[in-house]
Amino acid sequence: MTNFHGIIPAIAVPFRPDFGIDETELRRFALWLARRPGVVGLMTNGHTGEVFSLTTRERAEVTRITADAVKDACPVISSIVCEGISEAVDHASLAKEAGAAALDIMPPHHWLRFGFKPEHCIDYFNAIGSASGLGLIVHVYPAWTRASFSSELLAELAKLPQVRAFKIGTRDMNKYARDIKAIRAAAPEKALLTCHDEYLLASMVQGIDGALVGFASLVPDLINELLEAVRAGDLRKAMAIQARIDPLKDAVYGAGEPTGEAHGRMKAAMAAVGILPNGRVRPPTHAPTPEESAAIKAAIRAAGLAERVAA
């Protein structure tokens, strides 16, 4: 994968009544999404894909199904969500065998609890990049977590040849601006992608190259129109598009950051407009409450989306 400039949806995964992966629906959904305007790739095994509820084998299977379905439309990125180098190398190998053209590297979960040294991070990316031979996306966690990368570390990661892009979810706009400046100074050719689903316009106007967001599973066309308006410098149009997105954003994410339940609410919205046949989520994630479902339907109408019809 060489082009990371555009919209990259982190795709949701449809499940059968027994909570197994619904291959038929995943294929149909992935191909529909890959053909939306502005989409340059799809990402499997992200938080939107309920990755923490998937086994190692299922993660590779989701990538295999998706990559095969969209092989003539766009490349597929697989997220690597592991605890150490050996496991990450194994997952990267499985993802590559399944058809992944690039890898999104999330920080190991234990960094959230214990923190890490910058050299740990450099070693982690070097090992995965060397073993897989694939381009890597740096998945930047919120600034308030112990797995947050400093601007200085991001600049060092930008210098690694295997790193091709940054999925920036800093969620602190002051640090977000510093991070972008540091990466641009170190390696201006590396792609910068917002993953701030809940405030897209505010993060896009900082001078980024695209968006890698789960919200693009639900409203890919609106997000692409927003990015195009920002690129054109048409703030009035961008604000109007964001105003259409806002009701859905509020119904899905509320006032907070993406959570497991937020992804359940987004799946419910996807089912309501006919993108998915149902909003089934894997336990322990819960489906929306009746009140949340009513808010989702109202938001769909406010955004001008037709219920039960996938465009």
Domain layout of the chain by residue ranges: 7-234
**Per-residue pLDDT of the chain in tens (311 residues, 90 and over written 9):** 899 999 999 999 999 999 999 999 999 999 999 999 999 999 999 999 999 999 999 999 999 999 999 999 999 999 999 999 999 999 999 999 999 999 999 999 999 999 999 999 999 999 999 999 999 999 999 999 999 999 999 999 999 999 999 999 999 999 999 999 999 999 999 999 999 999 899 999 999 999 999 999 999 999 999 999 999 999 999 999 999 999 999 999 886 777 768 889 999 999 999 999 999 999 988 999 999 999 999 999 988 887 544 44
CATH among 1.20.120.1200, 3.20.20.70, 1.10.10.1100, 3.40.50.1820 for 7-234: 3.20.20.70
CB atoms near residue 235 (< 10 Å): 12
3-state secondary structure of 197: helix
Tokens of 49: 């894909």
CB atoms near residue 294 (< 10 Å): 12
Can you give the length of the chain in residues?
A: 311
CA distances in angstroms from 92 to 12, 22, 55, 134, 169, listed in the order given: 20, 23, 14, 9, 22
What is the phi/psi pair of residue 79, to 5°?
-75, 145
